[in-house]
Amino acid sequence: MSNSRAMSEVKETMGVKQTMTWKEFMALIKIGIVNSNLITIFTGMWLAFQFTDKHFLQSLDTVLYTLLGTAFILAGASSLNNYIDRDIDPIMERTKNRPSVTGKISGRKVLAIGLSFVTIGTILLFLTTAVAAIIGIIGVFSYVVVYSMWSKRIHVSNTVVGSIGGAMPPLIGWAAIEPNLGMIPWMLYLIMFIWQPPHFYALAMRRVEEYRAAGIPMLPVVKGFAVTKRHIVAWVACLLPIPFFLLQLGTPIVILMTILNLGWLILGIRGFKMKDDIKWATMMFIYSLNYLTILFVAIVIVTAI
């Protein structure tokens, strides 16, 4: 057992933990990740309604089950990730105040919350379609077991491995309405899969010393900033063909995504000349956040008109 985890267990044993506040609970389940993914889940559902003979207002129960079910699964998986990372979270500035680290909640309770939430979420998704529930289970297994428990601490490709499960939300949303997954939902999955490496590589550049101290083999830690920049630009470039597989969504979406892709690529290429790598990584990180929100919200708005 590492020193940090041992100290955490000592805190629990000595009873130094206090009642966890609502804010701390939100941090435990990573509410920011849950909220951002609800947008992509809803987009998947919305498009399934648009391409089938099913009607949104007549399926509000399914919509509710899907949103709540996926939210519970995401919150549960995030809690399990916090349970697994109790030994390294105290080392990193952005995670050292999580209640699983400070002793506000015991490891056993964190584990119980994670497993309970995943179970509740899976049951809710089974009330929609079996396919949606199975995709949710695969996503949890991929994130918690394959990524958090295995690749995160061993392989430099951990970010790509984590992207497999992280891209599941729009597939769940579509499958809850239409179990047959065609081109559109798989393109949404591909967008989210490709989006994650440049997003998290930029974050890793900003937090490189924290990851180094925690012993996490993130790309900037192992290969350096120059290689990371090349990887980021390469991943962003992989998004360029995607709009042409989304012609069914209409010309405005194709144009918008192309503009967003080119803007991100140009910003990425500028990084080869910028001397301040952290400033560039921050710009890329912020762009990535806006990219996903703008694109998925625009898809809903344009297809609703």
* The CATH fold of domain 1-181: Tetracycline Repressor; domain 2 (1.10.357)
Give the model's confidence band at 128: pLDDT under 50 very low, under 70 low, under 90 confident, else very high: very high
pLDDT digits (tens, 9 = 90+) for 243-276: 999 999 999 999 999 999 999 999 999 999 998 9
Q: If you count DSSP H runs as helices and E runs as strands, how many of each does the chain have, helices first?
A: 15, 0
Q: What is the mean pLDDT of residues 213-231?
A: 95
CA distances from 120 to 116, 123, 176 (A): 6, 5, 16
Q: Residue 3 and residue 13: Cα distance in Å, rounded?
A: 15
Q: Residue 195 and residue 267: Cα distance in Å, rounded?
A: 15
pLDDT digits (tens, 9 = 90+) for 180-206: 999 999 999 999 999 999 999 999 999
Helix axes 158-166, 130-141, angle to 10 degrees: 160
Strand, helix or coil for residue 241: coil
Give the per-residue pLDDT at 106.
85
Residue 6 reports pLDDT greater than 70: no
Residue 2 reports pLDDT greater than 60: no
Give the per-residue pLDDT at 157.
93
Percentage of residues in the chain having pLDDT higher than 90: 77
DSSP tag of 21: P
DSSP labels for 63-125?
HHHHHHHHHHHHHHHHHHHHHHGGGTGGGSTTTTTSHHHHTSS-HHHHHHHHHHHHHHHHHHH
CA distances from 220 to 152, 202, 204, 216, 275 (A): 14, 9, 7, 10, 16
Residue 11 reports pLDDT greater than 80: no
Q: What is the mean pLDDT of residues 161-184?
A: 95
In this structure, what token pair is assigned to residue 44? 């998947």
Tell which phi-psi region holds residue 103, choosing left (phi > 0), alpha (psi between -120 and 50) or beta.
Answer: left
Encoded amino acid at 204, one letter: A
Q: Residue 28 and residue 206: Cα distance in Å, rounded?
A: 22
pLDDT digits (tens, 9 = 90+) for 19-52: 678 888 888 888 888 999 999 999 999 999 999 9
Give the per-residue pLDDT at 9.
47
Domain ranges of the chain: 1-181, 183-305
| pLDDT averaged over every residue in the chain | 91
In this structure, what token pair is assigned to residue 12? 């629990």
pTM for this entry: 0.89
Q: What is the mean pLDDT of residues 234-249?
A: 96
